[in-house]
Amino acid sequence: MSLPDYVVIICLFLFNALIAVGFSRNIKTFEVFAIGHRTFGTFVIFATLSASFLGGGYTLGNAERVFNGGMLFALALLGFSLKEILMGQFIAPRMGRFHDCVSVGDIMEKAYGKPGKVFAGVFGMLVCTGILGAQANAMGQIINTFFEGPPYVGTFIGFGFIVLYCTTGGMKAVVYTDVIQFLLLAIALPVLFYIGLQHVGGWHEVVEQTPVTFTAPSETPSFWFILTPLFLTFMLGETTVPPYAQRLLMAKNPEITRRATLLSGFLSAPFFLLAGALGLIALVINPDINGNQAIPFLAETLLSPGWKGLVIAGLIAIVMSSASSFLNAAAICAVNDVIMPLRKAAINPSSLLWVVRIITLVVGAFSLLFALSFQNAMDALVYAYNFWSPLILIPLLAVILDVSTSQRQLWGSIVVSLLAMFICQQVPWWGGKLSTTVVGVVASLLSFLALKRWKCSKDLSITETGI
């Protein structure tokens, strides 16, 4: 890389550090560290929400999967886009009822008591740590391509910096760095796509030089049987995970939340397709590279000094933004939903800030261990989904939608979902495995409804007999 490239990248890191230091001075309470002052407007919520999910898995991991298997995988990611649109239309407007909450655990506590809060906190930590690990994996791939070092070295360096500014600046630092990082990516990836497409001679050359199923996924044998479980996995996998739930609680009012969520959903669809198309462009230029490095390879090969630095900074920024969001959320889950409810004595405010900062450091360390267990950011991401949606999604949505609930429904649906996922992992299907995430969510929904019906029938019986 040239000097201008290094200057752009160094400026990104320095800017993040300055924001963290600046906001750290105004953090006096745990609530401010967790969700700011609840004064964010539409654009800021839209930008931070988008930056949170447009991380390493949905960029580098997406390009890798398309590089190896075609655009079918990018189409499957549209399930996430549909989820965001549905969340904006039906869930975000209802979040005004939870203005006193700072986490998913607080919402769960309203219906299921302290046990429900602690359970949500534990699995919130697990899913955030897993998704954080996916970002660590992506960071390692970027560093390995551009700086010619082992991936684990890049992972430790990049994540050390992320942990630093999350620990000091809290949610406000995360949000405002997200805005800048989102804008950076919004410039970087389209520029890279345009230059890459010009380099190969246009999209028609991509079509001619790749297998027909790569650019025409519907020609894939058993197209719907492959697409459907993937689509549903991405639709359900990250629904209401802690960082997204936090952002639904941060806006000035529910209307702002609704607009921002809808915008992020509509934006995500072209982004997923564009990131996937970059994988095909890399395949045309050099089919012998590692698919994990498809996007970094294009930046390294095609861009001139300055532009290369901008794209590299954009890639690093989007990984950092997603990672910082999940790191902050994991720490909030640990402190607010697990440690505080289980302690008999209250923690004074100043000590609580130190606790959440120490927990942030610990979670960052565990995410690095998770990252080193997977070769691909997308694999880590999908695996992490099993810690959330099959166990928490249905009981949580019931609370948000103001459906009558009980602890029997919560624990019954959890047990049935765990059993269904275990069986799913043992049963081959369609030449591979069923999506454990989808199977778990379906099992959770059916058991939750069955237990609700049973409770209603029992209450009716008691009423009729006068007991």
Alpha-carbon span 447 to 439, nearest angstrom: 12
The H-or-E segment that residue 355 falls in is helix 349-371
Packing angle of the helix pair 3-24, 151-200 (nearest 10 deg)? 120
> What pLDDT, on a 0 to 100 scale, did the predictor assign at position 461?
47
Which amino acid is residue 428, in one-letter code? P
CATH architecture of 3-371: Up-down Bundle (1.20)
Least confident piece of the model among 185-199, 281-295, 344-358: 344-358
> What pLDDT, on a 0 to 100 scale, did the predictor assign at position 431?
42
Ramachandran class of 222: left when φ > 0, alpha when ψ lies in -120 to 50, beta otherwise: left
Alpha-carbon span 282 to 130, nearest angstrom: 28
Compute CA distances 370 → 52, 136, 153, 237, 374, whole Å. 19, 9, 15, 18, 7
Query: Is pLDDT above 90 for 460?
Result: no
The most confident of the ranges 27-31, 118-122, 345-349 is 118-122
Alpha-carbon span 98 to 95, nearest angstrom: 6
Percent of the chain at pLDDT above 70? 79
If we measure between CA atoms, which residue out of 132, 76, 154, 77 comes closest to residue 381? 132
Q: What pLDDT, in 10s, does the model give residues 203-230?
A: 999 999 998 989 888 888 777 877 888 8
Query: Is pLDDT above 90 for 283?
Result: yes
> What pLDDT, on a 0 to 100 scale, did the predictor assign at position 58?
81
Q: Any idea of the CA torsion for 130, 136, 141, 143, to the nearest 10 degrees? A: 180
> What pLDDT, on a 0 to 100 scale, did the predictor assign at position 195?
92
Say which residue, 319 or 271, is predicted with more confidence: 271
Q: Find the mean pLDDT for residues 162-183.
A: 73
What lies within 8 Å, CB to CB, of 81 at 6+ separation is 265, 266, 268, 269, 272
> What pLDDT, on a 0 to 100 scale, did the predictor assign at position 107?
93
If we measure between CA atoms, which residue out of 177, 197, 251 comes closest to residue 13? 177
% helix / strand / coil in the chain, to the nearest 5?
80, 0, 15
The per-residue DSSP string of 106-175 comes to HHHHHHHHHHHHHHHHHHHHHHHHHHHHHHHHHHHHHHHHHH-S-HHHHHHHHHHHHHHHHHHHHHHHHH
Contact criterion met (CB below 8 Å) for 209 and 201: no
Say which residue, 117 or 295, is predicted with more confidence: 117
Least confident piece of the model among 70-79, 110-119, 375-384, 431-440: 375-384
> What pLDDT, on a 0 to 100 scale, did the predictor assign at position 218?
83
Alpha-carbon span 124 to 392, nearest angstrom: 9
Measured in whole angstroms, the distance separating CA 101 from the mean position of its chain's CA atoms is 21
Percent of the chain at pLDDT above 90? 24
Least confident piece of the model among 78-92, 100-114, 269-283, 299-313: 299-313
Least confident piece of the model among 59-73, 365-379, 386-400: 365-379
Least confident piece of the model among 84-98, 157-171, 341-355, 445-459: 157-171
Q: What pLDDT, in 10s, does the model give residues 313-364?
A: 777 777 777 777 788 888 888 888 998 888 877 777 667 777 877 887 777 7
Q: What pLDDT, in 10s, does the model give residues 388-439?
A: 889 999 999 999 998 888 889 999 999 999 999 888 877 765 444 567 888 8
Compute CA distances 369 → 123, 136, 377, whole Å. 17, 9, 13
> What pLDDT, on a 0 to 100 scale, did the predictor assign at position 464?
44
* Residue 278 pLDDT grade (very low, low, confident, very high; cuts 50, 70, 90): very high
Q: Find the mean pLDDT for residues 59-79.
A: 89
Query: Is pLDDT above 50 for 81?
Result: yes
Say which residue, 309 or 230, is predicted with more confidence: 230
* Residue 307 pLDDT grade (very low, low, confident, very high; cuts 50, 70, 90): confident
Contact criterion met (CB below 8 Å) for 196 and 302: yes
**Which three-class secondary structure string do you get for 214-279?**
HHCHHHCCCHHHHHHHHHHHHHHCCCCCHHHHHHHCCECCHHHHHHHHHHHHHHHHHHHHHHHHHH
Write down the mean pLDDT value for the chain.
Answer: 80
Query: Is pLDDT above 80 for 152?
Result: no
The most confident of the ranges 16-30, 85-99, 138-152 is 85-99
Domain ranges of the chain: 3-371
Kindly tell me the burial class for residue 3, based on how many C-beta atoms sit within 10 Å of its own C-beta (0-12, 13-18, 19 or more).
exposed
